[in-house]
Amino acid sequence: MKAAVITFPGSNCDRDLAVALQNAGAQVTRVWHKDQDLPEGTDLVGVPGGFSFGDYLRCGAIAAHSPIAAALRRHAERGGYLLGICNGFQVLTELGLLPGALMRNSALTFICKPATLNVLTTDSAFTAGYRKGQQIGIPVAHHDGNYQITPDGLARLQDGDRIAFTYGPAINGSVGDIAGILSENRRVLGMMPHPERAADPALGGTDGAALFCSVVDGVVNA
């Protein structure tokens, strides 16, 4: 499986994401935000956490207008897989590839701590390695992770079984305690917690490793 990990000015989890994908068996290429195209044959694109362009304007807003943005849209439109983590989730919403928006945390503070997530669906390449209803421990580190969407939009997510993860307990004010969502075709996942920081015993936890192994195996066997 061929994966590409994007780096923007201010990304700080790009290497961690690349390592997690490599450890799961993916062949990973690093891509700079000024590139116009993804490497040929790319199956999965990872949009990492960090503070792209210093989080000026809105988190992810400038990154969504980088030269590589058009290639990300084309990749999604042809059915490619996309994983956006933390700032990457913000970028995917700014690109219009996922619905809703990430707002300032309800307590107006930066949150950096272990979090408990509930797995709401296993019907995706990203979550098939978990059990529905399973609780996993994944770290969070964000200031603008408060996921908001209209009532109609929330109903569409719920009716389509597109809420991948929720927080338990709530941590940032997200509607429905949402921590991660899927696109309509289930090939784009955006999540605020950092599975790449829980993918190696040396990091203190391995609950995130199943996500990377799952998507790599799912793409290879698709």
Alpha carbons 54 and 12: distance in angstroms, whole number: 11
**Residue 75 annotated in active site:** no
Catalytic, out of 33, 86, 94, 142: 86
Residues 6+ apart with CB under 8 A from 61: 94
Looking at this protein, which amino acid is placed at residue 119?
V
Alpha carbons 164 and 128: distance in angstroms, whole number: 10
**Residue 194 annotated in active site:** yes
Alpha carbons 169 and 171: distance in angstroms, whole number: 6
Other beta carbons within 10 Å of 9: 15
Alpha carbons 4 and 41: distance in angstroms, whole number: 10
**Residue 196 annotated in active site:** yes
Catalytic, out of 13, 142, 196, 213: 196
Catalytic, out of 33, 75, 142, 194: 194
In the 8-state DSSP scheme, what is residue 50?
A: B
Q: Which residues are catalytic?
A: 86, 194, 196
